[in-house]
Amino acid sequence: MTTMTDKSTNPIGLYLHIPFCKGKCPYCDFYSVAPRKGVTDSYVAALCRKLDEENRIYDTVYFGGGTPSLLGADNIALILSHIRRTENCEVTLECNPSDTGGTDSVFDFAKAAESGVNRISLGLQSADNEERKALGRRGGCEDVERAIARAKAAGIENISLDLMLGIPNQTKESLLRSVEFCKTGGATHVSAYILKIEEGTFFHKKRENLILPDEDETSELYMAAVDALEKAGFMQYEISNFAKDGYESRHNLKYWRCEEYLGIGAAAHSFVDGKRFYYERSIVDFVDGKPPVDDGFGGDEEEYIMLALRLTEGLIFENFRRRFGKAVPDSVIRKAEFLKKHGLTDTDSEKISLTKNGFLLSNAVICELLANFE
């Protein structure tokens, strides 16, 4: 059951992809290129044009990348002036610590805050500068501290930090120091992702030479991170996401709850009116106005279950019934009860959720739950 969005009154999420980075981190496969003045200007102009065309109202806005802070606060303000927002709209800006917290950084947080930015996301990855270096990150964790202080001085209190698990030379002790940094540094939210070696990246080319924690060690690191983050007051709400009470990312929750969001910009993905579509990974095509590519139907029952199980709230039977007009299939419930005996799921009369062990094996557990889906 899919309902059409009323563009004028129904707020949805908005993702803006800013595909510019000063250098390419060796593990990263997001679409980004080095910024060039003329190119960034025409890209910003194309974003504004597209936003005017869409003329929707949004309750979350997420500037992702790439490195959105590279555009500078004036461009962020210009783009935001083309975005109709609800009163309490969450507006997140991904920032590179060395561009916003470096000693010579000129990023104007006050201007960004004045134009509506109320949440920033910083790539800490690790509080150990040697580990940061091994990941090819520019600058040190002192830049992260300075970026947080500058954002807070401008009135932006909602700060998300990214951590990476299973990175070269990482130990449980160094990971715990990184979690401590998040706690004392004043973060409200932490995303902790396990490093994946993606095809096409520099790490993939060099994979034979990388010394990485093995699968068991990485599992231990994940469990240690979950435990330490929760002790530090960041409660897990998704496989890789943790927040202080009330600071869960409203934008990212839309992805996992199969709610609507529009993606604008090269490589941006959307889910609107039951359809998934995306822009190609090409700045030129986007600036030239090439339309997004249809990715087919989205938000069906299987996809909904798969995404819901990433959340600690799990698959809530009543929400499923309300959305699809029928009950969660018996086959899923029976398998969840079986996996409960193995400590991988929790089930009761209202929902199915994965345990922490279940999260570690989430791909296999979700595949099992959805096998022979009726």
Q: Decide if residue 28 touches ligand SF4 (CB under 6 A).
A: yes
Q: Decide if residue 24 touches ligand SF4 (CB under 6 A).
A: yes
Which C-beta is closer to ligand SF4: that of 65 or that of 213? 65
Which C-beta is closer to ligand SF4: that of 47 or that of 344? 47
CA distances from 330 to 17, 97, 257, 336, 369 (A): 40, 48, 21, 10, 11
Smallest separation (angstroms) from ligand SF4 to the CB of 298: 25
Which C-beta is closer to ligand SF4: that of 99 or that of 260? 99
Which C-beta is closer to ligand SF4: that of 124 or that of 243? 124
| Total of chain residues touching ligand SF4, rule CB under 6 A | 11
Smallest separation (angstroms) from ligand SF4 to the CB of 42: 20
The β-bridge relationship of strands 241-243 and 189-194 is antiparallel
Q: Decide if residue 96 touches ligand SF4 (CB under 6 A).
A: yes
- Contact residue for ligand SF4 among 40, 60, 67, 75 (CB under 6 A): 67
CA-nearest of 30, 29, 1 to 15 is 30
Which pair of structure tokens corresponds to residue 203?
């790490």
Smallest separation (angstroms) from ligand SF4 to the CB of 53: 27
Of the candidate spans 23-31, 37-45, 75-83, 110-118, the one that interacts with ligand SF4 by CB under 6 A turns out to be 23-31
Q: Decide if residue 65 touches ligand SF4 (CB under 6 A).
A: yes
Q: Decide if residue 101 touches ligand SF4 (CB under 6 A).
A: no
CA 295 – CA 14 distance, rounded (Å): 18
CA distances from 124 to 110, 173, 198, 359, 361 (A): 22, 17, 20, 23, 26
CA 308 – CA 275 distance, rounded (Å): 18
CA-nearest of 152, 311, 308 to 243 is 311
Reduced to 3 states, what is the DSSP secondary structure of residue 338?
A: helix
- Contact residue for ligand SF4 among 17, 60, 63, 66 (CB under 6 A): 66
Q: Which residue has the tokens 């949004």?
A: 58
The DSSP annotation for 188-220 comes to SEEEEEE----TTSHHHHTGGG-----HHHHHH
- Contact residue for ligand SF4 among 12, 14, 16, 25 (CB under 6 A): 25
- Contact residue for ligand SF4 among 32, 105, 170, 345 (CB under 6 A): 32
- Residues sharing a CB contact under 8 Å with residue 318, sequence separation 6 or more, in sequence order: 350
Which C-beta is closer to ligand SF4: that of 95 or that of 352? 95
- Contact residue for ligand SF4 among 30, 193, 317, 324 (CB under 6 A): 30
Smallest separation (angstroms) from ligand SF4 to the CB of 269: 16
* x/- map, 3-22, ligand SF4, by CB under 6 A: ------------------x-
CA-nearest of 143, 238, 243 to 183 is 243
Q: Decide if residue 126 touches ligand SF4 (CB under 6 A).
A: no
**Beta strand residue intervals within 239-321, DSSP E:** 241-243, 261-264, 269-272, 275-278, 293-297, 315-316
How many C-beta atoms surround the C-beta of residue 359 within 10 A?
21
Smallest separation (angstroms) from ligand SF4 to the CB of 77: 22
Which C-beta is closer to ligand SF4: that of 66 or that of 329? 66
Q: Is residue 66 reached through a cis peptide bond, with omega within 30 degrees of 0 on the bond before it?
A: yes
List contacts with ligand SF4 (CB under 6 A): 21, 24-25, 28, 30, 32, 65-67, 96, 123
